[in-house]
């Protein structure tokens, strides 16, 4: 979290660590984006260990998701103090929002997107790429979820 806070998010490390912990929990993410070592909590509500007792790295699927980030696929801008460059958007080889789902409330609006099957989601993306005018009924044949 220290590296992230120093380079990209100078607002304290607790929110960074909480996000990282969730990305390492098999019951929170269908396809975990973080490969964690140590105590990252439990499904019945036990909290994660303090940061100093855990280690983390990007999971294989996270590495694959961001594989093309250094191939001029997106624009980069200076970080908050101009010492680093960060992507304006994260390119993704698959729609992580659909694969892992999302639940939350912000500014009076709620969202609840259930997780979907990775293979079916990729097939749906291919269908939309091949036929941008595909109708929902045909799309649901590929992604019934």
Per-residue HEC secondary structure of the chain comes to CHHHHHHCCCCCCHHHHHHHHHHCCCCCCCCCCEEEECCCCCCCCCCCCCHHHCEEEECHHHHHHCCCCCCCCCCEEECCCCCCEEECCCCCCCCHHHHHCEEEEECCEEEEECCCCHHHHHHHHHHHHHCCCCCHHHHHHHCCC
Q: Look up 53 and say whether it is catalytic.
A: yes
88 near 69, Cβ under 8 Å?
no
Exactly one of 8, 17, 53, 80 is catalytic; which is it? 53
Catalytic positions: 53
């Amino acid at each position: 979290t220290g590296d992230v806070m120093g380079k990209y998010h100078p607002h304290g490390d607790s929110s960074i660590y909480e996000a990282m912990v969730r990305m390492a929990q098999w019951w929170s993410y269908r396809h975990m984006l973080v490969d964690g070592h140590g105590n990252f909590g439990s499904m019945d509500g036990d909290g994660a260990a303090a940061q100093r007792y855990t280690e983390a790295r990007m999971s294989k699927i996270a590495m694959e998701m961001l594989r093309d980030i250094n191939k001029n696929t997106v624009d980069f801008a200076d970080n908050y103090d101009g010492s680093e460059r960060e992507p304006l958007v994260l390119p993704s080889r698959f729609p992580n929002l659909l694969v892992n789902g999302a639940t939350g409330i912000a500014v009076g609006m709620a969202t609840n997107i259930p997780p979907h099957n990775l293979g079916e989601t990729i097939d749906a993306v291919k269908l939309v790429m091949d036929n941008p005018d595909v109708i929902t009924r045909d799309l649901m044949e590929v992604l019934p979820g």
